[in-house]
Structure 1
């Protein structure tokens, strides 16, 4: 049985209130699909449909899953949707979540493995006001008065508190929206740089993003994950899902409009303007400088080892409790 602790691993990080959790099945694209009966597959998202899931939706909208003989249903997520637990238990075949959550799951004996990483550089940031002249996360040290809203139970927040002296900063819980940010100049909050800053700016704010990756905490984001057991027993299914997802992400980064319309239909609180902004911000995170498009989805052992070491340093993981090299596989990315 997967411990109840896993249910707390999914923490809200976007600005919207909770819309109904949607599910999306593959549309009839009119293209050629295999003659055999399609395999029904569920992909569980870690949050409500938005730009960070765009490539998976593109694979659905443009028929790439169908071309692989897959009838994929994308299940929307939310603040307390236990993606790691659902994947580990076999409730769903595939899920989308972040690398730190996956390691936390594995230390609880969850059989979850990352097979593809569409977003290389983490979008996680602390959003502050430009008028305050805060140029880096290190500038938060000794700042008083100042309020920082974030979920202190998350590894990124623990890493920040470990590496920046926030003794003079008042830390409060993350509110899930930008309302307080707009009211208080001496206020910062956790955010994803493709979402909350756009909302804040549209409402007259002056947001600046201080990236956690620049402090050294750079987790793979929106990983495609599955069970180790499924990799062993049905490798061709995993290969099909990974191959179609990579195609989807390439398509989304190049031509997002049709997919964004579909995402908006699934989550009407995600307007087309914020989705357009989002994919523009995501593109350099998915394809950083000198990172060839052909490598999209790949991962490195060094990055996983670094994350495990950082999470051990801040006390999120007991020493030697996980083997980072077992948390991911490149088998299906290189096969693409």
Structure 2
């Protein structure tokens, strides 16, 4: 579907304010995605497909995103009650006055990577030299890489969104997501190696559910119900993504089922890394947010001080985990 149609869908879906509702009433609410529907939204879709939103009396409408949909601003202005963003976008938005709060982090580790050819001698980010490197202009992770790496004889060029140049030039590397571009390259006969940006220390939470602090203050029960449904949805998606992938494919036919299955496999370890404590899906730490804020400040993207204060809360995800333990809920 063309981006203009997604933009129209977003505008039409943002016209209704968040309703006042008790847990006994069905509340029609919206969740604005940060991109076209794909596996990074798998748990949110799973909560819809498997009835977790409905079980919480939430009539959830998922609004597709795209390259120009301002998700942080949409929540800050209360055009939508919930949206998906990454942690660095949350902090950068708050710096500009967008009052939003993260309440659930689906991916503990960022999927952001630099792709090189599998037959390349480059095995670490520190080995990047004597190549052309395609990076998104102005992106925080790109600025971090340029500040931290020697990048000897590396020519930085704008990221085009395609792997065509990498296919044609063995001395070419580019940004990507570990769950996406490697399969695209493989289908065109090129195996790649993913150098994870998180291994260099830049690791913002990804696929983060955000809301407005006034909604937390005015309707905490609604926020809890949404987080509880989302948490169950992600449990379901990580365990068995097939049915949900069918729905994502229906909403975004450009994402075929093979791509979604590949992505779901890659995302699983990002959501629950080996060092992640049991029953902590979606939780965040003050240390991680503070580290990210310092990194962004060092890059000149934040003014400094304590910009991470108030940027997130574990209040609802911890309550959701506790309620699961009490009722013995398991994925369907």
Fold match (TM-score > 0.5): yes
**SS, match of residue 119 in structure 2:** helix
Moved over 6 A (4+): none
Matched, 1:81 2:38: no
Match for residue 183 of structure 1?
Answer: 168
Match for residue 323 of structure 1?
Answer: 307
After superposition, give the CA deviation of every residue in 1:276-332 in whole Å (9 maximum; x if it has no partner). Answer: 010100111111113244100000000000000111111111121x43131000110
Matched, 1:256 2:241: yes
Aligned pair partner of 1:333 in 301, 317, 326: 317
Matched, 1:66 2:54: yes
Match for residue 48 of structure 1?
Answer: 36
**SS, match of residue 149 in structure 1:** strand
Aligned pairs for 1:228-239 (under 5 A) are: 228-239=213-224
**Structure 1: 5+ residue stretches without partners:** 1-15, 26-33
Aligned pairs for 1:260-299 (under 5 A) are: 260-299=245-284
**SS, match of residue 109 in structure 1:** coil
Is this contact kept in 1: 2:23–2:221, CA < 8 A?
A: no
Is this contact kept in 1: 2:133–2:172, CA < 8 A?
A: yes
2-structure distance, mates of 1:300, 1:274: 31
Matched, 1:129 2:138: no
Aligned pair partner of 1:107 in 91, 95, 103: 95
After superposition, give the CA deviation of every residue in 1:54-88 in whole Å (9 maximum; x if it has no partner). Answer: 00000000010011010011011111110000010
Aligned pair partner of 1:166 in 145, 151, 162: 151
1-structure distance, mates of 2:136, 2:151: 14
Match for residue 209 of structure 1?
Answer: 194
Is this contact kept in 2: 1:17–1:176, CA < 8 A?
A: no
Is this contact kept in 2: 1:19–1:267, CA < 8 A?
A: no
Change (3 A) 1:201 1:310: same
Match for residue 16 of structure 2?
Answer: none
RMSD between aligned alpha carbons? 1.8
Aligned pair partner of 1:196 in 181, 186, 198: 181
TM-score normalised by L of structure 1: 0.88
**SS, match of residue 40 in structure 1:** strand
1-structure distance, mates of 2:257, 2:4: 16
After superposition, give the CA deviation of every residue in 1:246-270 in whole Å (9 maximum; x if it has no partner). Answer: 0000000001000000000111111
Change (3 A) 1:71 1:118: same
**Structure 2: 5+ residue stretches without partners:** 14-21, 321-332
Is this contact kept in 2: 1:111–1:229, CA < 8 A?
A: no
The alpha carbon displacement at 1:167 in A equals 5.1
Is this contact kept in 1: 2:23–2:222, CA < 8 A?
A: no
Match for residue 149 of structure 1?
Answer: 134
1-structure distance, mates of 2:80, 2:3: 22
2-structure distance, mates of 1:79, 1:293: 35
Match for residue 10 of structure 1?
Answer: none
1-structure distance, mates of 2:258, 2:265: 11
The alpha carbon displacement at 1:165 in A equals 1.8
Aligned residues: 308
The alpha carbon displacement at 1:161 in A equals 0.2
The alpha carbon displacement at 1:152 in A equals 3.0
